[in-house]
């Protein structure tokens, strides 16, 4: 389904509940009423084209937002990605960590194993944080600077030659190892979590919940990198071309 | 899920693409990584940098550039090429493909052909299952101590090729890809002692 501005947002969410974290990132809280996407965007000062691009990218793996790319500034994308990062680091990951430590507390005979899992997940988090930090400290400032230079392109003195030395393509390639660790975490739990005492029901419940959260995190990170690959990278590539032609 | 075959499609036509996607989704272990339309700039580089196992190409989608592209892809020993074959496909084009999916074949035949193309080698059908062999455990012990493949090979008097085969099989059997993940597995199962790796 292609999501368009004339659709009612409530029905779109009914159709695909995976979009809930997305609307949340656009500061649209639940209870938003019966309006169309267009109306709600107008009320809340959300860029309609950008919102639709993100909704569609999340909703449909086949979607490719090329027609929309020119209609919103890169700073909006970055703002969105930044919010998503904050959500992963401040909410999702701590939530998973607390589940692991709960498992540790509940475990009667396997504390050693849970300790190992917990360390493994902490290592994953450190790597993930590094990855995020690189984007936030290196890549995003570059994009914002590039956009600023383009906005002021009539003012030749603003053209910063250093910007020519960087390219968005060079950075978007190191997702892999982080993803693999998350995959391994799931394998370890699915296949090798040692059984607890049969009446340790809460342990069982928490371990299911933990596994579910890992799947959700994995899926969300996948959508996240799709947004980077399909929206941010092509957008910035277009900007890079335009910037080069100004010299 | 352990053994996966990464597939890329080059097909501009939505109806055909959806059909291919449907076929791929019916065979466990085949993962559709990305779809190209055939008109992308530097398509060869875009395809090869991802290290695909299999590429399904519709010659019609690539157009005039087809011979050039296919010749370069044929030089990549690790990539299997599957061609979509129209009834009137010229011989000089369809002969380029070792594996073909004919337009007029029924679903059953297409699935068979796809399975044959993707699984006739090591990865799919012979997907090794079951516990690690003694040899694999020996290799695993060294890998999780942080040794490189070459160091493991030297230490155990094996060829690097053998070590890499063992490592692939370990990953397939366990479903664990990273060294640190393997280490957790090894510790959990008392294959190594914590003092050996710190």
Delimiting residues of CATH 3.40.50.2300 domain(s) in chain B: 5-119
Nearest CA in chain B to A111: B188
Residue B19, C-beta contacts closer than 8 angstroms, at least 6 positions apart = none
DSSP H or E stretch at residue B54: strand B54-57
ipTM of the shown complex: 0.77
Residue whose C-alpha is closest to residue A138's, from A177, A171, A90? A171
Residues of chain B contacting residue A185, judged by C-beta atoms under 8 Å apart? 181
| Contact check, Cβ <8 Å, B188/A188 | yes
The tens digit of pLDDT for each residue in B124-133 reads 444 456 689 9
Residue B44, C-beta contacts closer than 8 angstroms, at least 6 positions apart = B69, B72, B73
- How does residue B120 score in pLDDT terms, banded at 50, 70 and 90? very low
At residue A120, the pLDDT reads 94
Return the minimum-mean-pLDDT range out of A88-102, A133-147, B2-16, B135-149: B2-16
Domain positions in chain A are 9-59, 73-245
Closest residue to A120, CB basis, from B174, B177, B180? B180
DSSP H or E stretch at residue A11: helix A9-15
In CATH terms, the fold of domain B134-197 is Arc Repressor Mutant, subunit A (1.10.10)
Residue B122 pLDDT greater than 50, yes or no:
no
Q: DSSP character for B73?
A: H
Q: Are A238 and A167 in contact, with CB atoms under 8 Å apart? A: no
At residue B164, the pLDDT reads 93
B 138-197 residues with CB < 8 A to A: 174-178, 180-181, 184-185, 187-189
Return the minimum-mean-pLDDT range out of A10-19, A151-160, B17-26, B149-158: A151-160
At residue B2, the pLDDT reads 43
Count Cα atoms within 13 angstroms, Cβ side, for B63: 7
pLDDT, mean of residues B114-141: 74
Residues of chain A contacting residue B174, judged by C-beta atoms under 8 Å apart? 187, 191
Burial of A109 (0-12, 13-18, 19+ CB in 10 A): exposed
For residue B81, the cross-strand partners are B55
At residue B124, the pLDDT reads 46
* Least Cα separation, residue B188 to chain A (angstroms): 6
Residues of chain A contacting residue B175, judged by C-beta atoms under 8 Å apart? 184, 187, 190-191
CA-CA distance, A107 to A60, in Å (whole number)?
Answer: 40
At residue B125, the pLDDT reads 45
For residue A108, the cross-strand partners are none
Output the average pLDDT for chain B: 87
- How does residue B172 score in pLDDT terms, banded at 50, 70 and 90? confident
DSSP H or E stretch at residue B82: strand B80-85
CA-CA distance, B103 to A66, in Å (whole number)?
Answer: 30
| Contact check, Cβ <8 Å, A116/B184 | yes
Residue B138 pLDDT greater than 50, yes or no:
yes
| Contact check, Cβ <8 Å, A120/B177 | no
Residue count (chain A): 247
CA-CA distance, B10 to B117, in Å (whole number)?
Answer: 16
Residues of chain A contacting residue B35, judged by C-beta atoms under 8 Å apart? 62
CA-CA distance, B101 to B182, in Å (whole number)?
Answer: 39
Is any Cβ of chain B less than 8 angstroms from the Cβ of A188? yes
At residue B3, the pLDDT reads 61
Is any Cβ of chain B less than 8 angstroms from the Cβ of A120? yes
Contacts of A11-18 with CB under 8 Å at 24 or more apart are: A12/A37, A12/A55, A16/A59, A18/A58, A18/A59, A18/A219
Q: DSSP character for B6?
A: E
pLDDT, mean of residues B38-62: 90
Residue whose C-alpha is closest to residue B9's, from A61, A169, A228? A61
Count Cα atoms within 13 angstroms, Cβ side, for B98: 12
At residue A157, the pLDDT reads 57
Mean pLDDT is highest, among A230-234, B85-89, B159-163, for B159-163
Closest residue to A177, CB basis, from B178, B185, B189? B178
Residue A23, C-beta contacts closer than 8 angstroms, at least 6 positions apart = A9, A13, A32
Dihedral sign from CA coordinates of A51, A56, A58, A59: positive
Residue whose C-alpha is closest to residue B35's, from A173, A230, A168? A230
pLDDT, block means (10 residues), chain A with 247 residues: 93 93 90 94 93 91 76 91 94 96 90 92 94 92 90 67 77 69 93 84 93 93 88 90 83
CA-CA distance, A163 to A153, in Å (whole number)?
Answer: 13
**Percentage of the residues of chain B whose pLDDT score is greater than 70:** 92
> What's the CATH architecture for B5-119?
3-Layer(aba) Sandwich (3.40)
């Amino acid at each position: 389904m292609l999501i368009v501005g004339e659709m009612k947002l409530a029905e779109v969410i009914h159709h695909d509940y995976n979009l809930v974290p997305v609307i949340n990132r656009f500061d649209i809280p639940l209870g938003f009423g019966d309006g169309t996407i267009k109306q709600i965007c107008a009320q809340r000062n959300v860029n309609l084209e950008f919102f639709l691009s993100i909704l569609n990218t999340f909703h449909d793996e086949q979607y490719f937002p090329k027609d929309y790319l020119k209609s919103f500034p890169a700073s909006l994308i970055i703002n969105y990605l930044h919010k998503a990062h904050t959500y992963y680091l401040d909410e999702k990951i701590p939530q998973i960590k607390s589940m692991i430590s709960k498992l540790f507390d509940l475990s009667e005979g396997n504390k050693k194993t849970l300790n190992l899992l917990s360390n493994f997940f902490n290592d994953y988090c450190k790597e993930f944080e590094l990855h995020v930090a690189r984007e936030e400290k290196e890549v995003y400032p570059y994009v914002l600077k590039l956009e600023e230079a383009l906005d002021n392109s009539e003012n030749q003195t603003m053209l910063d030659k250093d910007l020519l030395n960087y390219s968005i393509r060079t950075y978007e390639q190191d997702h892999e190892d982080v993803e693999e660790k998350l995959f391994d975490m799931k394998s370890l739990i699915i296949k090798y979590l040692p059984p607890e005492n049969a009446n340790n029901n809460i342990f069982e419940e928490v371990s299911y919940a933990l596994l579910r959260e890992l799947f959700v995190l994995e899926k969300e990170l996948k959508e996240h990198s799709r947004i980077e690959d399909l929206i941010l990278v092509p957008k910035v590539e277009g900007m890079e071309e335009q910037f080069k032609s100004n010299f | 899920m352990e053994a996966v075959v990464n597939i890329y499609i080059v097909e501009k036509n939505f109806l055909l693409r959806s059909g291919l996607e449907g076929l791929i989704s019916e065979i466990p272990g085949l993962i559709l990584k990305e779809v190209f339309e055939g008109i992308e700039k530097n398509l060869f580089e875009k395809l090869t940098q991802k290290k695909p196992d299999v590429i399904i190409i519709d010659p019609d989608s690539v157009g005039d550039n087809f011979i050039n592209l296919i010749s370069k892809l044929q030089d990549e020993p690790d990539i299997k090429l599957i061609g979509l074959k129209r009834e009137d496909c010229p011989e000089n084009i369809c002969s380029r493909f070792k594996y073909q999916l004919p337009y007029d074949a029924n679903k059953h035949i297409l699935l068979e052909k796809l399975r044959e193309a993707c699984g006739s080698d090591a990865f799919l059908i012979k997907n090794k299952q079951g516990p690690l062999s003694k040899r694999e455990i020996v290799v695993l012990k060294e890998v999780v101590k942080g040794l490189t493949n070459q160091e493991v090979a030297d230490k155990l008097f094996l060829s690097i090729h053998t070590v890499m085969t063992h490592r692939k099989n370990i990953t397939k059997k366990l479903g664990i890809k990273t060294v640190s993940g393997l280490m957790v597995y090894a510790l959990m199962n008392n294959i190594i002692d914590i003092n050996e790796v710190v």
